[in-house]
Amino acid sequence: MPTYQNTYQNHVPGAPHPPSTSQHSFGVPGLNYSFAYSNCSGKRKALLIGINYIGQRGQLRGCINDVKNMSRFLQERFGYNPSDMVTLMDDQQHPKSQPTKQNILTAMHWLVKDAQPNDSLFFHYSGHGGQTKDLDGDEGDGYDETIYPVDFRHAGHIVDDEMHRIMVAPLKPGVRLTAIFDSCHSGSALDLPYLYSTSGKQKEPNLAKEAGQGLFSALQSYSRGDIGGVASSAFGLAKRLTTGRNAEERAMRTKTSPADVIQWSGSKDSQTSADATENGEATGAMSYAFIRALTKNPQQSYAQLLNSIRDELAGKYSQKPQLSCSHPLGNDGQPLDESEMEFQF
């Protein structure tokens, strides 16, 4: 196994620079926040979950392989110790190693327990994902994202609000949590309110798309002489725009964190993620692309890595991997592509 070296301490000339670990302040509507990046020099812990749903309807093929590949990658490339890693897979015999709902929730609590500044925590989920109606008004599209434990048919799914409450809300400034979701509808699976584009710019809610859809419906009603339909479409548009803005503001007020939390997801909330075959092995497309992109170039900025992951999938899969964070990326809220900070975990 290669000797681990912290790339923050062994910076390669020309590579992106590590972020400053001092406190950074920023504001959201009505509130001011501060956060601190991690230099990833402390304790490392990892929770890896792979569910093929063996023998069930909707069985997958690559999720268990994803966990095995990610485990090997973390140990060989980033110095994670097997004794500080928990793996839950549904091909295991021991009941505690099965990815049941209770075991997953227990393991999530273990992952973040006693985390200190500059610790590096890693969460990887490969399995089915879905959506359910949002009940607390923090989702612009009206739906929460979910993951499906192996026993979901009787135990139920796990909602993004609960995952955020367990794994993000308790973290102190300077604790790093990197989360990888290789599942359908996973764009905001950890409920992190800051979403970034491949150019490194923070994305705004797509209100223009909503407006276009509402206007199209109103014009259709008008062409049919349906004045009531025009009014209904206009009212629905106004409601969606208002609800979307309110949800985004609520998410920033309630889901922003002083910790250093990054999520990489296999798809937008509205998309599915592929259970694929690469190099003759069943694998999740996102897990494969993430490992391959960092293996080719371990020192990439956030924006570069997002582009690299998408490049690995381009031409083969329609899904668009997403990058989101618990706070604005970039030094003191500056655009990410100006600071070009190196991604590390």
The sign of the CA dihedral 83, 85, 88, 91 is: negative
Q: Residue 129: beta bridge partners? A: 147
Contacts of 297 by beta carbon, 8 Å cutoff, 6+ apart = 304, 308
State pLDDT tens for residues 204-217.
Answer: 654 444 444 444 44
Contacts of 40 by beta carbon, 8 Å cutoff, 6+ apart = 6, 8, 118, 120, 176, 344, 345
**Which pLDDT band, with edges at 50, 70 and 90, does 194 fall under?**
confident
Give the start-end residues of each E strand in 151-304: 158-159, 176-182, 194-196, 260-265, 275-278, 281-284
What pLDDT score does 139 carry?
59
| Structure-token pair, residue 19 | 């972020």
Instruction: Tell me the C-alpha distance between 303 and 343, whole Å.
Output: 9
Buried (b) or exposed (e) across 140-176, using 16+ Cβ within 10 A?
A: bbebbbbbbbbbbeeeebbbbbebbebbbeebebbbb
The better pLDDT of the pair 5, 178 is held by 178
What pLDDT score does 290 carry?
96
**Which pLDDT band, with edges at 50, 70 and 90, does 47 fall under?**
very high
Instruction: Tell me the C-alpha distance between 229 and 71, whole Å.
Output: 55
Phi then psi dihedrals of residue 20, to 5 deg? -70, 135
Average pLDDT over residues 177-181: 96
Instruction: Tell me the C-alpha distance between 130 and 141, whole Å.
Output: 14
State pLDDT tens for residues 53-90.
Answer: 999 999 999 999 999 999 999 999 989 999 999 999 99
**Cα 124–chain centre separation:** 10
pLDDT for residue 23 is more than 60: yes
Instruction: Name the active-site residue from 24, 124, 128, 164.
Output: 128
Instruction: Tell me the C-alpha distance between 237 and 292, whole Å.
Output: 42
* CB 75, CB 156: distance < 8 Å: no
Please say if 164 is a catalytic residue: no
Instruction: Name the active-site residue from 184, 185, 325, 327.
Output: 184
**Which pLDDT band, with edges at 50, 70 and 90, does 229 fall under?**
very low
* CB 6, CB 21: distance < 8 Å: no
| Structure-token pair, residue 225 | 């002489």
Phi-psi region of 31 (alpha: psi -120 to 50; beta: other; left: phi over 0): beta
On the CB side of 65, CA atoms within 13 Å amount to 18
Question: What's the pTM?
Answer: 0.82
What pLDDT score does 202 carry?
82
Q: How many residues does the chain have?
A: 345
Average pLDDT over residues 180-187: 86
Scanning the structure block, which residue is given the tokens 């199209």?
216
* CB 305, CB 314: distance < 8 Å: no
**Which pLDDT band, with edges at 50, 70 and 90, does 233 fall under?**
very low
Q: CA 19, 25, 28 angle in degrees (round to 5)?
A: 120
Please say if 94 is a catalytic residue: no
Sheet containing 129-133, strands listed edge to edge, beginning at the edge strand earlier in sequence = 129-133, 143-147, 158-159
Fold classification of 23-204+254-339 (topology level): Rossmann fold (3.40.50)
**Which pLDDT band, with edges at 50, 70 and 90, does 122 fall under?**
very high
* CB 293, CB 210: distance < 8 Å: no
Quickly list DSSP for 9-62: TSPPTTSPBPPP-SEEEEEETTEEEEEE---S-S-EEEEEEE---TTSTT--SS
